[in-house]
Amino acid sequence: MSAYISAFELFSIGVGPSSSHTVGPLRAAGDFVSRLDDAGVLDRVDHVTCELYGSLGATGIGHGTPDAVVAGLQGHVPETVDPALVRGAWTTWPDDAELSLGGRRGIRFSKADVVLSPRTRLPGHPNAMTLRATDAGGAAVGDETYYSVGGGFIRRDGEPPAVRAAEFPLDFASAEELLAVCDERGISIAEAARLNEQVLRGEEELAEGLDAIWAAMSSCVEAGLRADGVLPGMLRVRRRAAAIRAQLEDAEAGGHRELPGEWLGAFALAVNEENAAGGRVVTAPTNGAAGILPAVAMYWWRFLADSGLGAGNAVTPYGELVGSALLGFGAHGGGRSGEGEVADEDAVADANRRRGIRRFLLTATALGSLFKANASISGAEGGCQAEVGSACAMAAGGLTAVMGGTNRQIENAAEIAMEHHLGLTCDPVGGLVQIPCIERNAIAASTAVTAARLALRGDGSHYVSLDAVVETMRQTGIDMSTKYKETSEGGLAVNVIEC
C-alpha cells in the first residue's frame, strides 16, 4: 500500500497548543460519543470518565488535554470549534455540573473524572487514553482506549488498519520509489501528489481545498503578528512576533532594505505563539511544529515568488510549467480576461503565487507522508526530531519545488533538513508548547531555507539518501530515552526553573 497521505489529513485545521495532546484527544472523545450513539446506548449514559496515560498524563495539563477531552465529549470538533470553548473547558469546570454529552445527553461530570496516570504506559503508543461510560446503576455502557499517534491522528485499540476508500494510482513507499514513479511518468513530486489527490476530489475542489489550507496558515501568521501580551501558563512567556513586526516595519519606513531572514523568523514565531495561546492553527504536520511550513511559504510568497513564477511563465493550478502563455482554469486559473487579454499584473502575480503555494503544499505532503509511514511525526514517539525535523524537511522540499528545483534537488533539500535535526529531543519546560518550541520553529524555518538553497546549488546527487535519514530518525527515536520524548522529565524541562 502506498505511503501517501492526503494533504487534507496531513494539514488539518484545528486548535493549539498540540496536535497529539489537544487535537487528538478532542477527536478521540468525540469518536467515543459517536460510538455510544451508533450503538444506541447514548441515552443510557449517566457518567463518563477518562484516564490519560504516559505522555498525555505527564504533560496533559500544560497541553490542555483535559480541556480537549471535555470539548470533545460535548460534541465539538477541531476543524470548527471556537478555540475559546476549548481553553479552560476542564480547568474551570464547576464540580458536578451537568455536561451535555454530544450536545444532547446531560450527564454528571466533575474535574476528577479526568485522571492523569503519567507513570502508566500502554504498549500501543506513549499517548494513550481510555474513556469509560456507565449507566445510573454503575454498569458499563462503553469502554474504549485510543492512541493519539501524532499530527492529530488517532487510532482505536484493537481496530484494524483503516482501509482507504480508493487506492491511490501512484504507489510509493519510499523516496526512492517516489522518484522512480516521477521519472517513469516525467512528472514532478507535486504532480504525483496531485494525481493521488484527484482520486478523492476533483481538480477544482482540490485547488479550493489547498487554498483554504493556505488561507488558514496565512491568517494564523497575520493574527500572531498583531497579537501582544503574555502566553497562558505559569512561565508567563511574553509574545514577541508583534514587536519584531513593528521594528521591521519601522526599518522599512525609514528607507532600510527589507530583511527577509528576520521576517522569516517573525512569521514562525507568530504561528507558534498563536498555537501556544490555543488559537486556530494548521497541523503541519503537528502543532508543535506548525510554524515552519507557513513561515517558509510566506517567505516565498512575500520575497521570492515574483522572481520564481513571473507572468511570463505558464503554469497549471499546481505550479507545473507548461508553455509560453498563461492558461485559464476557471476561478482558480487567473491569467486571461474574457477578451483573451492578460489580466492586470497584480492579479496575474497573485494567481501565480497561489499556484506556487499549491505546489509547495503538495510537494510537502508527499514528503510528509514518507516520514509518517516510515518513521514518526509524534514527539512522544520520536522526540522533536519527528516533529520539527519532519516539518523542516517538508518545508525545504516545498521551497525547492517552487524555486524551480528538480525532483532530486527536492529530495536532497529534504534530506539535508532532516539530517541536521537527528537526535533532537522533546523536553518542553513546564509541559507547555512554548520553551523551546516557539524559537525552535523559527530556527528550523531558517534551516529549511538554507537546505533548499544548498540543494538548488547542486545537481541533486548526494551521498546520504532521504530514505536513509528517515530510517535513522526512526532508529534514533527508538533508542532515545523516554524522558526526552514529550514527558518533561529530562533536558531543559528539569534544568530550567519554572517561575
Model pLDDT, residue 497 = 73
Asked if residue 130 is part of any domain, the answer here is yes
Per the listing, cell 496515560 goes with 53
Among residues 156, 191, 212, which one ends one of the domains? 156
Asked if residue 95 is part of any domain, the answer here is yes
Per the listing, cell 479526568 goes with 114
150 & 249 share domain: no
241 & 381 share domain: yes
How many domains would you assign to the chain?
A: 2
Query: What phi and psi values does residue 15 have, to the nearest 5 degrees?
Result: -130, 160
421 & 354 share domain: yes
The span from the CA of 179 to the CA of 407, in Å, is 7
Mean pLDDT by 10 residues, the chain (499 residues): 92 93 96 97 97 94 95 96 94 91 94 96 95 96 96 91 70 97 98 96 96 97 97 95 95 81 97 96 96 98 75 39 30 42 73 96 98 95 97 98 98 98 96 96 98 97 96 98 92 83
Asked if residue 5 is part of any domain, the answer here is no
Model pLDDT, residue 347 = 86
Model pLDDT, residue 339 = 46
Model pLDDT, residue 319 = 42
Q: What is the span of the domain harbouring residue 146?
A: 18-156
Of 144, 197, 146, 232, the C-alpha closest to 11 is: 197
Asked if residue 170 is part of any domain, the answer here is no
82 & 182 share domain: no
List C-alpha distances in Å: 243 to 35, 226, 238, 251, 276. 47, 9, 10, 12, 17
Q: Are 151 and 387 in contact (CB under 8 A)?
A: no
184 & 239 share domain: yes
DSSP tag of 135:
-
Asked if residue 436 is part of any domain, the answer here is yes
Of 437, 394, 361, 498, the C-alpha closest to 18 is: 437
Per the listing, cell 459517536 goes with 34
* Grid coordinates of 194: 496531485
Model pLDDT, residue 387 = 97
Model pLDDT, residue 317 = 42
The span from the CA of 266 to the CA of 296, in Å, is 11
Model pLDDT, residue 330 = 33
State the CATH number of the domain containing residue 55: 3.30.1330.90
187 & 150 share domain: no
Q: Are 430 and 234 in contact (CB under 8 A)?
A: yes
67 & 141 share domain: yes
